[in-house]
Amino acid sequence: MSSVHGTSVDIPTPDGVADAYVAYPDDGAAHPGVLVFQDAFGLRPSLRALADRIASHGYTVLVPNMFYRAGRAPLFDLPDPIVMAERPDILQGIMPLMMQLTPEVVKSDSGALLEWMAAFPQIAAGPVGLTGYCMGGRLVVYTAAAHPDRVAAGAAFHTGHLITDDGSSPHLVVDSITAELYLAPADNDQSMSPEHIETFAKALDAAGVRHTTEVYEGAVHGYTQSDTEAYNAEAAERHYRELLALYDRTLRQH
């Protein structure tokens, strides 16, 4: 593993400026790019640490504040650890921001992020990898569908609501995806039932998308996030192994 340099950056978008964190090996070379989509709690130290760990394996990793329209991160006064039962008020502030991230908005934002990545000296030429956590998994699907020529791989960990009853359901946009996908829903996740997992997999099969779905048994929604009550160290380590294996086989060949 390489030593890592991390820094804050500002990225212009059609709707303003997104604050972000970028981490890359401290070796002066360009490395394959990875775009990390946050969970609902946003850009914070634990996600920067996650980016550093991925970067240490030879990737340049960007983590944007996808709630930038509401201000710079941190936007919420989060307890440590994050225990939702103790602070139900947090979701009241988060939900409206999540609702703003429609497929059209994500297409616009991700286009700006990918454009910035293509120009960043520490990112090698070629398609990038995506990973998303909780709500971020939806953004992975939307981005891979909107920019198939720019995305070689995408992963979604403990993501829910991939099947919804409205026109923005992620399973409705997968036809254009050319990336390889890895999905790791949590066991007993109320936001992603076994029926929804099967329906999404069938949609990917019908679209001819290369994909793997593995339910992480005994893990709950949010299992990768080290600053939350949901954190599961064993499942989180498995997530890193599978994510890096996905990137190694899809990004290293370019």
Tell me the mean pLDDT in the region 88-110. Answer: 94
Percent of the chain with pLDDT over 70: 99
CATH homologous superfamily of 4-250: Alpha/Beta hydrolase fold, catalytic domain (3.40.50.1820)
Tell me the mean pLDDT in the region 79-97. Answer: 86
Task: Give 80's pLDDT tier (boundaries 50, 70, 90).
Answer: confident
* pLDDT for the residue 1: 79
| Domain range annotation of the chain | 4-250
Rounded (10°) CA dihedral 76, 82, 86, 92: 40
Task: Give 83's pLDDT tier (boundaries 50, 70, 90).
Answer: confident
Task: Give 89's pLDDT tier (boundaries 50, 70, 90).
Answer: confident
d(CA 25, CA 60): 7
Residue 231 has pLDDT above 70, yes or no: yes
Burial environment of residue 139 by CB neighbours within 10 A (0 to 12, 13 to 18, 19 or more): buried
* pLDDT for the residue 253: 66
Residue 254 has pLDDT above 70, yes or no: no
What does the DSSP 8-state code read for residue 128? E
Task: Give 60's pLDDT tier (boundaries 50, 70, 90).
Answer: very high
Give me the chain's average pLDDT, please: 96
Find the farthest-apart pair of alpha carbons in the chain and give their distance in angstroms, rounded.
Answer: 48
Q: Among 34-38, 193-197, 249-253, where is mean pLDDT lowest?
A: 249-253
Please give the positions annotated as active site. Answer: 134, 189, 221
Task: Give 188's pLDDT tier (boundaries 50, 70, 90).
Answer: confident
Tell me the mean pLDDT in the region 34-47. Answer: 98
Percent of the chain with pLDDT over 90: 91
pTM, entire model: 0.97
Q: Does residue 81 contact residue 136 with C-beta atoms inside 8 Å? A: no
